[in-house]
Structure 1
């Protein structure tokens, strides 16, 4: 296996473009804490943690990736993806039209063996950066001759050092979404699954037997088998009430960020599902995020790290 990623269209990504600080509130008898981003920085999309437990790392609207250094340090600039990025033009911007100039890092995953952070950027493809940060290096920009468009989901297979990604080849409303595998040793990109409707999130199971990929437009999650009698085939795992974005693995289950329509608003929701598509838990974060939509829910060391956009100026920390 390798690094798995998904790519999707600008309309959807822009919708979501969007230890410890205060204040905190109670949700279902558990603590919700806001980890504030630097001034004018918004929309933390996805998270990663390095092999020493450092982080979270998160990509934001203005094209930078920040690293959390604890309550006294907060978030500091770590990396960026656009080679000709102008700090004067880009820093603090919320203008989505500047994406091709400033970059928009979405999915993140840390390869603990190589000590590299992998990045799925909406405009610059799949990139990687070392522990010192700075400008990330492009690893891949296309598959089968088709350029990436708006890579979004990313997961790293730590056992055999491959990267899984997902995204669309054209626009959000079509079915050009793909699930892809990148091998850092050969720099080869393999298409695992195609014809997805708004491919956004990607997660590898703990036993490495299958990959889950979310379809934003189709309100569902597909399972792609890597092993067993169903290897190299896919099936619908579950249909959801709302539109799913990123999905993350935790123990024997998965957390997925879902936007559930509830007239006249959309409810930002975190749902935990098992490998068979059963919803084990559903958390409503409307009180904490209002009209902001969740982009990712990732469990790490007994807490959920929550990303949202477009105007969220903090990372949510929810004690599980």
Structure 2
């Protein structure tokens, strides 16, 4: 969420001017009811369903035979009629606004970084989320965004876009080039939340490497991607990986390939432009760029996530999720 980032005014402008493609390789999945903004995706262990967080605090489940169904909610008020139709951060403090999501494949638990309300977990059967934490060392998270789970250890890594500004103040954070974002670690075994990295400029997304040796963290404001080493001789240290991806949002590993997809835009003064999915290797080398302007117009993409030869594409406030055959 850039943000997993609630650029509401920018997105309303961009949605009004979007031109959508009728390319047969691209499928639109409209979000039901009055909800919108499928920001991030998580897949079940057999690849038959995907899950996404939308406005108003809901997690939706999608299967080919049933389409979208309600799966879970961040708060008890997420089911209320006045949480429907919410765009961006309006009432997010009451309804919730899921940003990063990921499964622990061993337990079936779904972890959610809710932008204003903190880190949550949802049981395999769905329902009401349980809050794990909304602060660390007595300091509120303020604005959570990206999240990933190490599939081997079950450790949860998540980011804050800012530690000074709330989601409703994102334009201020971007304008001031805020660099107070952080990378956090939650260990389900110890129930402890710790800070791994500070000074991140718009921590929009994070992804654990397939071997669990490092985490890549995107800096939306700075147009940069950093690496935090988990294991090995550099464990606990950080380094810049690449500044070749413009305004990177969520980042997702591509199976065990060692590569990653990054959602990218060019953040202009009025609207974000040139949405694209960028594939990079573990050292940040750009391997492929797919322009998504025909499919999404000038819309702020939030995620590109690959499974079984298809790219699942999310937006912050858009009315549909996109699936593109690769």
TM-score by length of 1: 0.88
Q: Deviations over 1:186-214 (max 9, x none)?
A: 11011111111111100011111111000
Counterpart-to-counterpart distance in 2, 1:248 and 1:132: 25
CA shift, 1:39, in A, is 2.9
**CA RMSD of superposed structures (Å):** 2.5
**1:81 aligned residue (74, 77, 81):** 74
Equivalent position to 1:316, from 310, 316, 322? 322
Pairwise mapping of residues 1-320 of structure 1 onto structure 2 (< 5 A)?
A: 11=6, 25-26=22-23, 31-70=25-64, 72-85=65-78, 87-94=80-87, 96-167=89-160, 168-171=162-165, 172=173, 173-240=177-244, 242-250=246-254, 251-260=257-266, 266-310=273-317, 312-320=318-326
Mean Cα deviation higher: 260-269 or 9-18: 9-18
Aligned to 2:169: none
Query: For the residues of structure 2 that align with 1:79 and 1:241, how far apart are their CA atoms?
Result: 33
CA 1:138–1:16 in structure 2 vs 1: closer, same or farther (change >3 Å)? farther
- Asked whether the 8 Å contact 1:154–1:164 carries over to 2, the reply is yes
Q: Figure out how many residues of one structure are paired with residues of the other and give that number.
A: 306
8 Å Cα contact 2:2/2:220 also seen in 1: no
TM-score, normalization by structure 2? 0.87
Contact 1:16 1:45 in 2 (8 A): no
Q: CA deviation at 1:16?
A: 6.9
How many angstroms apart in 2 are the aligned matches of 1:15 and 1:186?
Answer: 41
Q: Contact 1:219/1:243 (CA < 8 Å) preserved in 2? A: yes
Q: Distance in 2 between matches of 1:13 and 1:153?
A: 18
Once the two structures are TM-superposed, the CA of residue 108 in structure 1 deviates from its matched residue by 0.4
Q: Per-residue displacement from partner, 1:69-116 (whole Å, max 9, x unpaired)?
A: 21x311011111123445121123326321111110010000122211
Structure 2 unaligned regions, length at least 5: 166-172
What SS class does the counterpart of residue 93 from structure 2 fall into? helix
Q: Tell me, what secondary structure is at the counterpart of 1:97? A: coil
Quote the Cα distance in structure 2 between the aligned partners of 1:273 and 1:298: 13
Matched-pair contact (CA < 8 Å) for 1:85–1:102? yes
Distance 1:218 1:76 in 2: 37
Alignment deviations for residues 278-315 of structure 1 (CA, whole Å, 9 cap, x no partner)? 100001111111122110000111111000132x2111
Q: Name the CA shift for 1:150/1:7 in 2 (closer, same or farther; >3 Å).
A: farther
- Find the aligned partners of 2:99 and 2:42 in 1 and give their Cα distance: 11
Q: Distance in 1 between matches of 2:88 and 2:8?
A: 13
Q: Which runs of 5+ in 1 are unaligned?
A: 1-5
Q: What is the CA–CA distance in structure 1 between the aligned matches of 2:70 and 2:216, rounded to whole Å?
A: 31
Question: For the residues of structure 2 that align with 1:8 and 1:190, how far apart are their CA atoms?
Answer: 21
